[in-house]
Chain A
Amino acid sequence: MTRVLSKEKLSEEVYRFEVEAPNVARERKAGQFVIVQADDDYGERIPLTIADADPKRGSVTLVFQTVGASTHALARKEVGDAITVLGPLGNPTHIEHFGKAVCVGGGIGMAPLHPIVQALKAAGNEVVVIAGARTKDLLIMQDEMKALADELVVVTDDGSAGRKALVTEPLKEMCASSAPPDIVVAIGPPVMMKFCSETTRPFGVKTLVSLNTIMIDGTGMCGGCRVSVGGETKFVCVDGPEFDGHLVDWAGMMSRLRSYKAQEEEAHHRCHLEMEAEAAAARQGRAAGAAAAGQGGTR
């Protein structure tokens, strides 16, 4: 069990947690992830990427979006609360001096991209970051990326920040330019990674993607994370999480991600009802408390 050291709400659905995890902080490398559990007995084990680490403080930073019951349960944790963290898991990103690297981050994909950009810079690469989100509020880690990257290109679907475009548009222009990237790293929603891979394919630019599939143990036991890559079945936890985006069977991967959609929606619904009930109880409690205080005042 580890403790939540700090908590920050980055946008309506996105949270940044700093958690106590000295071993993970010491061992983790760019590209690796952790498995987090909000509750040891009944909690779900969910893979989350590592946004940053502070070995001196013995902590790692996790950024996640509330998409289902388990991420909501996590979001309800407060500073000092206990959670379970296992890691670092998966293989580190292969970092070398490629020359020019374009790193594409969609939504909270910016978080796992952060250590990769750090490592690519440290290896002497020129790094251009394309940051994309649906809307301005969902853009995260802008300051960190601005400080690191040689160039930061911001795009939003609705044009509320940066250019009104999908990430694939600037990516395509860069690939077609006279100074095309030597490598592209794309991390974000599966559909974004798929289209980034399709964008770079005709240009023959090697494209790494980081897959976040369903997994339980994350250590090479359950096989739930399997995905077909280049016609071969791979396990994301021990063979990945990064793969050549041009070889991933995106349709298969995305349908596997939807395996529990019905149950998740039900759980999500239940969890919302519970939250509403809790909020209602709290309101009542406050009202009762106020009433009690009122009585006290008249005594």
Chain B
Amino acid sequence: MSDATNESAEALEREARAGLERLAAIRAGGREPSPRDRLAIPPQAMPCQGPAIRSRNMGEVAEGYGEAQARLEAERCLDCKNAPCVQGCPVGVDIPLFIRKIREGDFAGSVRAIKRTNLLPTICGRVCPQESQCQANCTVGKSLKSPGKAVQIGRLERYVADRERACGACDIPDVGRATGKKVAIVGSGPAGLTAAIDVRRAGHEVVVFEAFQKTGGVMVYGIPEFRLPKSLVAAESATLAEMGVRYELNFLVGRTRKLGALLAEDGFDAVFVGAGAGLPKFMNIPGENLVGVFSANEYLTRANLMKAYDRGRAATPLYPSRRVAVLGGGNVAMDSARMALRLGAEEVHVLYRRAREEMPARAEEVEHAMEEGVAFDFLASPTKILGDKDGVAEALEILSYALGEPDASGRRSPVPIAGSERVVPFDTVIVAIGNESNPLLARTTPDLKVDRRGHIVVDGAQKTSVDRVYAGGDIVLGAATVILAMGEGRRAAAAIDELLD
């Protein structure tokens, strides 16, 4: 978390080996390390590319543990009987078991333990907000009175998953006996891929429909390469293909084929909709349609999926940005700001209406952004975007806020400071304040119930108002996380399997 370090991976490995030797000495003395011994082991820091270097390249920021680091970190786990960490995991990974396996040096067994409930560990190990899920419940963190010192479950997950990938010996999950039933999965993001895996494991035929030219959804168009290498997403997608999952790329359900027709005419017995978030939200301030103003979706898609950063080869153009303002305080805002730096911006500012503590972004992302040189303007929000005579953005008018009296919930809400408007030059504005829902499926599928914000309404088993149609992920939740989407995909898959049984 906050202990990401620029110390070299070799130095960290050396220290970890020394730690392991101390434990070996205890064991040589005829006893297992006590909980006290384990609590004394410092959390293993994540080796990272240095900020000055990484902020100018697209390579992954976090380099991953070495073996000694992973083994020593695994020794920190107290193997609690009640396993509070598992309750914090949306897909219920048997965390104590997979960590015990690392301790025993059985790395393959460790991955197998994870994959019983989570088939995408290389991805979850990188992008899950562990600090608010499994690690938030960890007894070690609680004992040390510092949630940041919890067992680094995500890093361990990543280690064993990467190790398996690197060996090239990935287990292909078993597929049940063919049932003769066919299931359509709409969207190949985290919800869709998870549902596809589980439905396929049950022996049903699975076709995944993806509107883009590549599978992965938000994991390829939204989350940047420097946080989640696209080769990993491709490898995970390929594992599904080896299980017999079929992909129909460049296929937009609702337009290329109506959802109803999949069921009525194309022989599908059930459909899972994991179509993801939709229309980007804007602030509704003057000047938002000026040239140089982008939704984070557009900005990131150009850079990620369309590879616009590879200027020599990519045909998709990039806007020449020098001074960039990012509006918003979530993970997508952090991704946009850090991407802007990597694409060559001279100065990048994140503008957020509240204070740092209220930012919804993961602490680690905020810290990484700060280290890389992103400036943060807290308690500031734009009131208009100013353009030149050609309709090109050139400045923001920004209003300052102060924290007011605490409201009923105890939270101090921001209050604008009258007369504090100032004009600051920016040639690029990236709006990262979330998404509305995509209206397309609801418009083209009669009887598909959506709430007033356009999200598909589902019951506890992810079933929609339409018979045999299930939904999950951002199209149901609004903007959420990869792991929550996976949890929904998994629940829907179970319901679909029950329906088809």
A residues lining the B interface (CB < 8 Å): 1, 23-24, 27, 37-45, 69-70, 73, 84-89, 216-217, 219-224, 226-228, 233, 235, 238, 249, 251-252, 255-256, 258-260, 262-264, 267
The reply to whether B320 and A42 contact each other, CB–CB distance below 8 Å, is no
Assess whether B82 is interfacial by the CB under 8 Å rule. Answer: no
Known: A233-B282, A238-B279, A256-B291. 13 other contacts (CB 8 A): A23-B251, A42-B307, A86-B211, A88-B256, A217-B211, A219-B438, A220-B279, A220-B440, A222-B297, A222-B301, A223-B295, A228-B289, A258-B390
Assess whether B250 is interfacial by the CB under 8 Å rule. Answer: yes
Q: How long is the Cα–Cα vector from A267 to B302 in the complex, in angstroms?
A: 16
Q: How long is the Cα–Cα vector from A213 to B6 in the complex, in angstroms?
A: 45
The reply to whether B391 and A255 contact each other, CB–CB distance below 8 Å, is yes
For A235, what are the chain B residues with a Cβ–Cβ distance below 8 Å? Answer: 279
A85-B250, A217-B211, A238-B439 known; A224 vs B315 contact (CB < 8 Å):
no
Q: What DSSP secondary structure best describes chain A's contact surface?
A: mixed
Assess whether B65 is interfacial by the CB under 8 Å rule. Answer: no
Residue of B nearest to A225 (CB): B298
The reply to whether B252 and A69 contact each other, CB–CB distance below 8 Å, is no
Q: How long is the Cα–Cα vector from A39 to B213 in the complex, in angstroms?
A: 10
Q: Closest 8 interchain pairs by CB?
A: A255-B391, A263-B317, A223-B295, A44-B315, A222-B298, A260-B317, A223-B280, A86-B250
For A88, what are the chain B residues with a Cβ–Cβ distance below 8 Å? Answer: 255-256
For B295, what are the chain A residues with a Cβ–Cβ distance below 8 Å? Answer: 222-224
For A260, what are the chain B residues with a Cβ–Cβ distance below 8 Å? Answer: 317, 319
Minimum CB–CB distance for B327 against chain A, Å: 13
B257, B317, B438: which has the most chain A beta carbons within 10 Å? B317
> Which of chain B's residues 313-340 have a Cβ closer than 8 Å to chain A?
313-320
Assess whether B352 is interfacial by the CB under 8 Å rule. Answer: no
Assess whether B306 is interfacial by the CB under 8 Å rule. Answer: yes
A-B residue pairs in contact (CB < 8 Å), sample of 15: A44-B315, A44-B316, A70-B315, A84-B213, A89-B255, A216-B316, A217-B212, A221-B278, A221-B297, A222-B295, A223-B282, A227-B289, A233-B282, A256-B289, A264-B317
Assess whether B294 is interfacial by the CB under 8 Å rule. Answer: yes
Residue of B nearest to A271 (CB): B315
Minimum CB–CB distance for A234 against chain B, Å: 10
Minimum CB–CB distance for A27 against chain B, Å: 6
Residue of B nearest to A23 (CB): B256
For B278, what are the chain A residues with a Cβ–Cβ distance below 8 Å? Answer: 220-221
For A40, what are the chain B residues with a Cβ–Cβ distance below 8 Å? Answer: 213-214
Residue of A nearest to B284 (CB): A233
B290, B291, B302, B307: which has the most chain A beta carbons within 10 Å? B291
Q: How long is the Cα–Cα vector from A69 to B258 in the complex, in angstroms?
A: 34
Q: How long is the Cα–Cα vector from A242 to B315 in the complex, in angstroms?
A: 27
The reply to whether A219 and B252 contact each other, CB–CB distance below 8 Å, is yes
Q: How long is the Cα–Cα vector from A1 to B292 in the complex, in angstroms?
A: 32
Q: How large is the interface on B (under 10, 10 to 19, 20 to 34, 35 or more residues)?
A: 35 or more
Minimum CB–CB distance for B194 against chain A, Å: 20
For A24, what are the chain B residues with a Cβ–Cβ distance below 8 Å? Answer: 256
Contact of B291 among A45, A233, A249, A259 (CB under 8 A): A259
For A258, what are the chain B residues with a Cβ–Cβ distance below 8 Å? Answer: 291, 390
The reply to whether B316 and A220 contact each other, CB–CB distance below 8 Å, is no
Assess whether B421 is interfacial by the CB under 8 Å rule. Answer: no
A86-B211, A251-B391 known; A41 vs B255 contact (CB < 8 Å):
no
Q: How long is the Cα–Cα vector from A197 to B237 in the complex, in angstroms?
A: 49
Q: How long is the Cα–Cα vector from A267 to B318 in the complex, in angstroms?
A: 12
Assess whether B403 is interfacial by the CB under 8 Å rule. Answer: no
For A263, what are the chain B residues with a Cβ–Cβ distance below 8 Å? Answer: 317-318, 320
Q: How long is the Cα–Cα vector from A45 to B302 in the complex, in angstroms?
A: 10
A23-B251, A238-B439, A255-B392 known; A223 vs B213 contact (CB < 8 Å):
no
Q: Fill in one digit per residue for B486-498: 1 if any A CB lies within 8 Å of its CB, else 0.
A: 0000000000000
Q: How long is the Cα–Cα vector from A44 to B318 in the complex, in angstroms?
A: 11
Q: How long is the Cα–Cα vector from A87 to B314 in the complex, in angstroms?
A: 23
The reply to whether B316 and A252 contact each other, CB–CB distance below 8 Å, is no
The reply to whether A45 and B316 contact each other, CB–CB distance below 8 Å, is yes
Q: Fill in one digit per residue for B383-420: 1 if any A CB lies within 8 Å of its CB, else 0.
A: 00000001110000000000000000000000000000
Q: How long is the Cα–Cα vector from A223 to B430 in the complex, in angstroms?
A: 12
A70-B315, A255-B390 known; A42 vs B310 contact (CB < 8 Å):
yes
Residue of B nearest to A251 (CB): B391
The reply to whether B291 and A255 contact each other, CB–CB distance below 8 Å, is yes
The reply to whether B252 and A221 contact each other, CB–CB distance below 8 Å, is no
> Which of chain B's residues 250-298 have a Cβ closer than 8 Å to chain A?
250-252, 255-258, 276-280, 282, 288-292, 294-295, 297-298
Contact of B307 among A41, A233, A251 (CB under 8 A): A41
For B318, what are the chain A residues with a Cβ–Cβ distance below 8 Å? Answer: 263
For B302, what are the chain A residues with a Cβ–Cβ distance below 8 Å? Answer: 216
Minimum CB–CB distance for B100 against chain A, Å: 42
Q: How long is the Cα–Cα vector from A86 to B248 in the complex, in angstroms?
A: 11
Q: How long is the Cα–Cα vector from A87 to B279 in the complex, in angstroms?
A: 18
Residue of B nearest to A2 (CB): B250
Q: How long is the Cα–Cα vector from A249 to B391 in the complex, in angstroms?
A: 12
Q: How long is the Cα–Cα vector from A259 to B280 in the complex, in angstroms?
A: 19
The reply to whether A262 and B320 contact each other, CB–CB distance below 8 Å, is yes
Residue of A nearest to B436 (CB): A220
Residue of B nearest to A85 (CB): B250
For B258, what are the chain A residues with a Cβ–Cβ distance below 8 Å? Answer: 27
For A87, what are the chain B residues with a Cβ–Cβ distance below 8 Å? Answer: 252, 255-256
Q: How long is the Cα–Cα vector from A259 to B390 in the complex, in angstroms?
A: 10
Q: How long is the Cα–Cα vector from A262 to B213 in the complex, in angstroms?
A: 27
B258, B277, B279, B315: which has the most chain A beta carbons within 10 Å? B315
For A23, what are the chain B residues with a Cβ–Cβ distance below 8 Å? Answer: 251, 256-257
> Which of chain B's residues 429-479 have a Cβ closer than 8 Å to chain A?
438-440
A23, A37, A86, A262: which has the most chain B beta carbons within 10 Å? A86
Q: How long is the Cα–Cα vector from A221 to B439 in the complex, in angstroms?
A: 10
For B391, what are the chain A residues with a Cβ–Cβ distance below 8 Å? Answer: 251-252, 255-256
The reply to whether A226 and B289 contact each other, CB–CB distance below 8 Å, is yes
For A227, what are the chain B residues with a Cβ–Cβ distance below 8 Å? Answer: 289
Q: How long is the Cα–Cα vector from A216 to B280 in the complex, in angstroms?
A: 13
